[in-house]
Amino acid sequence: SKNGVEPNAFCYSAAINSYVYSDLPPDEIVSSSLFLLEQCPLETRNSVMYTGVINAFTRLAPFYGDAAMEATRLHNSMINSYKRTKLQEFKPTTLSYSALINCWAKSRAWNRLEIAQSIYDELEQWYRNTGNDPDLAVTTVASNALLDAFARSATRTNSHAWECQLELQKMAQPDVRSYGAVILAYANTGTWDASLNATKLVDVMVRQGVEPNDYTYTSVFSALSKSFRPNLKDRTLDITRKLMNEMNAGNVNKNVQLCTAIFDVLGKCGDIGTIMKVYQHMVEDLGVLPTPATHQVLVSSFLNNNSFKLAEDYLKEHFETMSIRTLNLMLRHFSRTRQMGKLRDLYYSQMLPDRVNALSYTTFINALSKSANEKTAFEAEQLVQEMYTIGIVQPNLFTYNALLNTWLKSGSPQAPSKCVEILQVMESHGIEPDKISYTCYIGVWAKTKPEQGMRILEFVEDSNLVQLDRVPYFSLINAFAIENNVDMVMKLVERMKKNGIDADKRLYDVIVNAIDRSNLPQQRKKSVIKSIPYTVPQKKKKKFSFL
């Protein structure tokens, strides 16, 4: 334009598509594409430009709720221009409709499938009304976009996977993407039968002369992972190995997404040996580097199969590229195994402020509560204060509950006053205490001043703040039993009956021992013990499987 050369329709279309397929943020892709379309004179525009901008909205659709609606308005404006001017440049095409269906398939709208289906029906109506215009024929591209909408809407509670299969059967020439969409639908269903249907569909593809690709196998392995059942572990492993052999025999691109899906299902089956072989082949032979998603799957697989050394070695090797979620898995592992030295080293020495979230802090505080004393309680309190100081993440309800639990287990004489302060801070930040918060608060007072704990329990229940369970009752009954205060024990038992709370075996024994040590008449003891709300636990019958 600066050199006096007026850009033509091809220039504008190429420029729009260069944004669509770029690595820019989705919102920038949309704004730049719309800007180019608006700069283009109306008489120069064509359906290719509009289709390009709709594809730009498709990039944004998973993140912005109204993206698909904006794309629909744009498509309708093109159709209105065609009806008004009768210019062929504005005539909608199969590609423009396919792009719009695909945009709705990628959106987060609750009715995305219904709208995608209506757009597909509109395309068929255009085709009939124009005397079977080839530019508006329902091609495999349009059908694949609809199949994708079915696949992304499929869940365990609906029949969209089966409907997707029926749509596939209507297609004259389904391609690898068509089968891949149906397999994805079965994967999203998450049932064992659905995963079997997904694996059978791979055999159907081969018989129909359609070669499965990396996306096909990734979806099948994902289906097996999502539908995994421990009692079907051996069968799942056999199917996985069969698919891996078929994949190795074919010309399949073994990318990082495919390898990650394989790691996921093998990890659930407990085959760590095969995971290590595939990982070595991926990195050394194929030159494929693991992504943060791969790190998470591998670390989770190692930890779930008690391969702790592998997980810790993997952490040392790939720490810099791990996501917060994976690092939190390692924090939780060190917490569960009570390796406080490694936990502190990971948190203090290696984790930067921008690589932690509220769960990281909460996991660390929970770890401190397991070996709680006054020193660790103050350390936990300092962590919460650090969250406010840094300002990247804020403490949430779970963080404060972990801190309350740390003070509860600390045995510190300052615990009651500290818990009061914590509840006041929660209130100042608009965080309402829940059942766990009040259970910790009552438990702290039960250790120091049970009468105050009793008053708090009565206030919480009588004010209907939360519905408490038997845990705070156990704390108070145990405290009063130690003091031989049978009257308070009986008062708590009556309150349990009133609120429909049954005692478990441990609480029942504490109550019975307290009653037995009392000075009540023998007949009274029997009647009180008989009135304790206690349900005898039933032995679970062993389930037999004939699979």
What range does the domain containing 460 cover? 434-536
> Quick one: DSSP state of residue 7?
P
Residue after which a domain boundary falls, among 90, 122, 153:
153
Going by pLDDT thresholds of 50, 70 and 90, the confidence category of residue 543 is very low
Domain end point (choices 95, 118, 153): 153
The yes-or-no verdict on residue 205 having pLDDT over 60 is yes
Average pLDDT of the segment spanning 81-97: 93
Asked whether residue 90 is assigned to any structural domain, the reply reads yes
Q: How high is the pLDDT of residue 547?
A: 36
Q: How far apart are CA 426 and CA 420, in angstroms?
A: 10
Q: Do the domain assignments include residue 233?
A: no
Tokens coding 285: 């032979």
Contact 301, 272 (CB under 8 A): yes
What's the structural domain count of the chain?
Answer: 2
Phi and psi angles of residue 255, each rounded to the nearest 5 degrees, phi first = -90, 180
**CA 383 to CA 395: how far, in whole Å?**
10
pLDDT surpassing 90 at residue 532: no
Note the pLDDT of residue 506: 86
- DSSP 8-state code for residue 531: T
Considering the domain boundaries, does residue 473 fall inside one?
Answer: yes
The mean per-residue pLDDT over the stretch 241-252 comes to 91
Q: How confident is the model at residue 546 (pLDDT cuts 50, 70, 90)?
A: very low
Q: Which amino acid is at 452?
A: Q
Task: Indicate the helix (H) or strand (E) that contains 314.
Answer: helix 308-318
Q: Which of 304, 392, 308 is nearest to 353 (CA)?
A: 392
Q: With beta carbons less than 8 A apart as the criterion, state whether 437 and 423 touch.
A: yes
The alpha carbons of the chain give a radius of gyration, in whole angstroms, of 32
pLDDT score for 525: 81
pLDDT digits (tens, 9 = 90+) for 380-428: 999 899 888 877 788 999 999 999 999 999 989 999 999 999 999 999 9
Whole-number Å distance between alpha carbons of 516 and 539 = 28
Residue 487, pLDDT > 90, answer no
Entry field: residues in the chain: 547
**Please, what is the angle between helix 505-516 and helix 486-498, to 10°?**
140
Pairwise CA distance, residues 331 & 303, whole Å: 12
Query: Quick one: average pLDDT of 24-28?
Result: 94
Per-residue pLDDT band at 535 (split at 50, 70, 90) = low
Residues 498-517 have a mean pLDDT of: 86
Copy the structure tokens of residue 427. Answer: 């209130």
Average pLDDT over residues 443-458: 93
In a domain, 493, yes or no: yes
Q: Is residue 455 part of a domain?
A: yes
What pLDDT is stored for residue 540 in this prediction?
53
What is the rounded average pLDDT of the residues 49-71? Answer: 94
Confidence of residue 184 (pLDDT cuts 50, 70, 90): very high
The angle subtended at Cα 375 by Cα 468 and Cα 444, nearest 5°, is 20
Q: Are 470 and 496 in contact (CB under 8 A)?
A: yes
User: Residue 500 is which amino acid?
Assistant: G
Q: Using a pLDDT cut of 90, give the percent of the chain over it.
A: 70
Encode pLDDT of 95-147 as tens digits: 999 999 999 999 999 999 999 999 999 999 999 998 889 999 999 999 999 99
- In a 13 Å sphere around the CA of 118, the CA atoms on its Cβ side amount to 7
pLDDT(358) > 50? yes
Q: Which of 125, 153, 181 is the last residue of a domain?
A: 153
pLDDT for 545: 42
Residues 354-371 as b or e (16 or more Cβ within 10 Å = b) = eebbbbbbbbbbbbbbee
pLDDT at 2 over 90: no
Q: Distance (Å, rounded) from C-alpha 192 to C-alpha 200? A: 13
204 pLDDT higher than 70: yes
Burial 394-431 (b: 16+ CB within 10 A, else e): ebbbbbbbbbbbbbbbbebeebbebbeebbebbeeeeb
pLDDT digits (tens, 9 = 90+) for 271-303: 999 999 999 999 999 999 999 999 999 999 999
Residue 193 lies in a domain: no
**Per-residue pLDDT tens over the stretch 218-227:** 999 999 999 9
Tell me the average pLDDT of the chain: 91
Give domain status of residue 366, yes or no: no
pLDDT at 1: 66
Query: Which CATH number covers residue 521?
Result: 1.25.40.10
CB neighbours of residue 329 within 10 Å? 21
Give the DSSP letter of residue 6. P
How many angstroms separate the CA atoms of 31 and 64, rounded? 13
- Secondary structure letter of residue 349 according to DSSP: I
154 vs 399: CA distance, rounded Å: 35
CA distance 453 to 485: 14
Rounded average pLDDT over 165-176: 93
Task: Give the per-residue pLDDT at 353.
Answer: 67
Asked if the structure places residue 469 within a domain, the reply is yes
In sequence order, the 6+-apart residues with CB closer than 8 A to the CB of 430 are none
pLDDT higher than 60, residue 481? yes
Give the tokens for residue 268.
């659930």
User: Does 534 have pLDDT greater than 90?
Assistant: no
What confidence tier does 499 reach under pLDDT thresholds 50, 70, 90? confident
